[in-house]
Amino acid sequence: MTRKFFVGGNWKLNGTRDFVETFVPILNASPSENVEVVVAPPSPLIALVRGRLREDWGVSAQNCWKVAAGAFTGEISAELAKDVGAKWVILGHSERRTIFHESDELIAEKVAHALAIDLKVIACIGETLAEREAGQTLDVVYRQLKAIAGKVSNWSGVVIAYEPVWAIGTGKVATPAQAQEVHAALRTWLTSNVSVDASSSTRIIYGGSVTADNCNELAKQGDIDGFLVGGASLKPDFVKIVNAKL
């Protein structure tokens, strides 16, 4: 099955209204042939970005809570993100896992709630440097994926993002062979634990210091279906990453 290339731009806690007004026109003028692109600004900017961004590109929230409303100061609900223009949400990012101590179980609950209201999910998994050096990479990503898979009945609304924690924002990048090895293992896990259809159709993207300089070699790998991009998504070079398969 041919899987459409997918590139997400995670702005993290960056961007202002002025930035949107100057940067988004650059994105709007860029080519993006046979690729699905999603931009994830901070939540106060979702509506503005959706109003300025080209219609063929999507907008994502960077996080959401596991219920629709309530006494959860500082949180954003999946319902609210969707109401202001998001069609996607990033869940399980390593910064949520490590800085905010979100568990596999909590992330899975968030995934379930987002999917229940037809908000699509970029579900992130990945190991730390200590876990990789201890030979635990596959044990960790299988555990994280198992929790998420337990809450998913329809995989058409899910993109899996493999993000080795040691390569996020560090300038270190998994080699194409290292990334491909994990992506292929994840696809095999889906075949064995979910279904052949889910394995063949679900896009597994790579995140971890992806840049315009390394994206083309990574994109050549058979099981790498795109990227989740951090810092480089805030620069004009993001357009080169979007078009890594051209």
Catalytic member of 36, 95, 131, 163: 163
Catalytic member of 36, 93, 102, 131: 93
3 within 8 A of 27, measured Cβ to Cβ: no
Count CA within 13 A, CB hemisphere, residue 232: 24
DSSP H or E segment with residue 197: helix 196-201
Q: Considering only CA atoms, which of 189, 180, 182, 116 is closest in space to residue 151?
A: 116
DSSP bridge pairs for 120:
88
Integer Cα distance of 228 and 238 in angstroms: 11
SS3 8: strand
CA angle 49/172/200 to nearest 5° reads 65
* Residue 36 known to be catalytic: no
* Residue 93 known to be catalytic: yes
DSSP bridge pairs for 204:
160
Integer Cα distance of 136 and 128 in angstroms: 9
Exposure of 165 by Cβ count < 10 A (0-12 exposed, 13-18 middle, 19+ buried)? Answer: buried
Q: Which residues are catalytic?
A: 93, 163
